[in-house]
């Protein structure tokens, strides 16, 4: 498969930083927990547990490299179609992650925020999110942005409906603009992702950040999410640093 084997050379954190071209915003589709579990003869829930475990070192490494924003796709608007016991396991893991890791993430200077329709999550999850966000609100080293009950289409529709509400009283024919649209999305105030990483080999976006990924560089690795470690992150950033971004213009 046309993934990134040619960039497999090991690069260390320092080299990535010294290149002077660290992505400001990395977005990750953390996929492959189920396949990882199946390969090991474990339950899907155990795969998700290992997937959550894999996240912390990646968050810390991104902060150490100097990434400003890390957005991770944790639960999509389509994931509700999974069996109820798997959904319950995912929600329990979310609450457990927030309860057990918030203090350490705070100490690392990480500010936790979310995108997605949080009001559609179970009460317990909503409360854990509120607590984690409040506890880390003053942190400025890096934003850890959790995409929960997130779908790109849902986000766009919610944004447009809120914009309509806010502009209803205006008499003249006011039209929605791209900057106004961006300011109504859940990611308002954040830069667009520079690098999208997807683990476990699937070549698709799966309704993630449809607006914001317009010019992101895409990196797909065969590695399953529970096996995705800081060395894998380094490979992805190294591959990004070899790319020529043109944004529709010409290579100089």
Give min distance, CB of 207 to ligand IPE, in A: 8
SS3 state at 224 = coil
Under rule CB under 6 A, residue 117 binds ligand IPE: no
Indicate the residue among 51 and 152 with the shorter CB distance to ligand IPE. Answer: 51
Q: Name the residue whose CB lies closest to ligand IPE.
A: 34
Contact window for ligand IPE (CB under 6 A) among 14-22, 27-35, 209-217, 233-241: 27-35
The residues binding Mg ion (CB under 5 A) are 31
> 126 contacts which partner out of ligand IPE, Mg ion, none, CB within 5 to 8 A by kind?
none
- Residue 84-113 contact track with ligand IPE, rule CB under 6 A, x = bound: ------x-----------------------
Residue 172 falls in the annotated catalytic set: no
Q: Which of 21, 79, 117, 207 is labelled catalytic?
A: 79
The binder of ligand IPE chosen from 22, 27, 30, 159 (CB under 6 A)? 30
Q: According to the annotation, is 207 in a ligand binding site?
A: no
Residue 79 falls in the annotated catalytic set: yes
Give min distance, CB of 169 to ligand IPE, in A: 38
Q: Count the neighbouring beta carbons within 10 Å of the beta carbon of residue 150.
A: 26
Question: What is d(CA 12, CA 17) in angstroms, rounded to the nearest whole number?
Answer: 9
Nearest 10 degrees: Cα torsion 196, 75, 184, 160: 110
Contact criterion met (CB below 8 Å) for 27 and 71? yes
SS3 state at 112 = strand
Under rule CB under 6 A, residue 29 binds ligand IPE: yes
List 147's β-bridge partners, or say none.
Answer: 73, 115
Biggest distance spanned by C-alpha atoms of the chain: 63
Question: What is d(CA 44, CA 95) in angstroms, rounded to the nearest whole number?
Answer: 18
Q: Which tokens hold the place of 27?
A: 């977005």
The binder of ligand IPE chosen from 23, 70, 76, 228 (CB under 6 A)? 76
Contact criterion met (CB below 8 Å) for 146 and 178? no
Write down the residue that tokens 């944790």 correspond to: 74
Q: Which of 8, 12, 21, 31 is labelled catalytic?
A: 31
List 71's β-bridge partners, or say none.
Answer: 27, 145
Binding interface with ligand IPE (CB under 6 A): 29-35, 51, 73-76, 79, 90, 200, 202, 204, 206
List the binding residues for substrate. Answer: 32-36, 44, 48, 76-78, 80, 82, 198, 204-206
Q: Residues with catalytic annotation?
A: 31, 79
């Amino acid at each position: 498969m046309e993934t990134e084997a040619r960039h497999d050379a090991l690069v260390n954190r320092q080299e990535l930083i010294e290149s002077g071209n660290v992505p400001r915003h990395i977005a990750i589709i953390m996929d492959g927990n189920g396949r990882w579990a199946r390969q090991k003869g474990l339950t899907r829930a155990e795969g998700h547990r290992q997937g959550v475990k894999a996240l912390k070192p990646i968050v810390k490494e991104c902060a150490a490299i100097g990434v400003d924003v890390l957005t991770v796709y944790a639960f999509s608007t389509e994931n509700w179609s999974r069996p109820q016991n798997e959904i319950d396991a995912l929600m329990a893991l979310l609450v457990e992650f927030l309860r057990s890791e918030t203090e350490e993430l705070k100490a690392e200077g990480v500010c936790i925020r979310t995108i997605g329709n949080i009001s559609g999550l179970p009460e317990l999850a909503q409360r854990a999110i509120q607590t984690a966000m409040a506890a880390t609100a003053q942190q400025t080293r890096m934003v850890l942005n959790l995409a929960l009950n997130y779908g790109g289409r849902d986000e766009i529709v919610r944004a447009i409906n809120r914009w309509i509400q806010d502009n209803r009283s205006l008499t003249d024919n006011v039209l929605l603009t791209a900057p106004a649209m961006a300011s109504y999305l859940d990611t308002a105030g954040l830069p667009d992702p520079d690098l999208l990483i997807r683990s476990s080999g699937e070549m698709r976006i799966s309704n993630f950040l449809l607006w914001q990924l317009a010019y992101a560089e895409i990196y797909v690795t065969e590695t399953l999410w529970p096996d995705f470690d800081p060395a894998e992150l380094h490979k992805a950033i190294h591959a990004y640093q070899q790319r020529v971004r043109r944004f529709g213009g010409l290579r100089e």
